[in-house]
Structure 1
Amino acid sequence: MQVKEYKEQNFRLLICSESDRFEIERLSPRRHIGYLQMYEKGGQLEIRDLWIDEEPEDFRGNGFGSILIEHAFEYAKEKRIDSIFGHTQTDDYKVHRFYEKCGFKVFIDNKHNTAWFLYSSNVGLMDTPDFDQLAKLVGVGNKLGIYEFN
């Protein structure tokens, strides 16, 4: 496990490379803040879960999720992965805005009640993503009915 400490900002990042998981915790007083779980599939990086703790202390809205996403981008770059994706609920607008702020495009799939968030370092891929391939990667049917989230 690799550890990066950011003492001036009072947190450290634990990089669990064997499981594609990043954890973030406060240094003093020591407290778990959150984590990001990823999975490499078909030359793409899927964000399976991103969680920032709310209780007993709310760490949301303090930039910790963005820090984890930033490290996911670095991880993808090191592994020469061009695209990162994940999905969430269609009505979770706060999460949609978070991913948009981090550089992802958000697309809504009403048929499966799913919102897809996609990022690509290859701009051309973002113009015409292959939704059938994406759906196959995560086990969703091929007829998605997706439109861009506004």
Structure 2
Amino acid sequence: MKVNLPKMADVSSKSQTRREAVASARVCMKNETLNMLRDDKVPKGDVLACAKIAGIMAAKNTHALLPLCHPLSIDNIDLSFELDVKDSSVKIESRCVSVGKTGVEMEALTAAAIAALTIYDMCKPLEKGITITDIRLIKKSGGKSGDYERKD
């Protein structure tokens, strides 16, 4: 019999505070694919607009994807995209804000990851070797554990 069964964290006694988290991901592709994305010539349509909407939707539904994640009221979410011609990649950054009893790190990470998957999905007719990498938390603020900022 297992003694350490999964359980949701009890946040009922925590006070509500402002929480913010920033996460990122990178999508690496051939120069030709990046140029088509930049020039809005991908056959499936506007890749970055679709990825932004997908990331927002993903953040709002994180609790439905991760079994022990609390459903949150997200007060703001935004995603930005930077095309890096030198590295032939798209850098994604997501920022989530909430006033609540638990942090929004998982929502920010989910937004970045799903935005990256959306870019892959929309560009896969052009290239199969696209790589998604560097999904990571950049910083977070608020809550009992305090602030965190990635140093690398």
Q: TM-score, normalised by structure 1?
A: 0.33
Which structure has the highest strand share of the two? 1
Of the two structures, which has the highest relative contact order with CA contacts closer than 8 Å and spacing of 6 or more?
A: 2
Q: TM-score, normalised by structure 2?
A: 0.33
Structure number, greater radius of gyration: 2
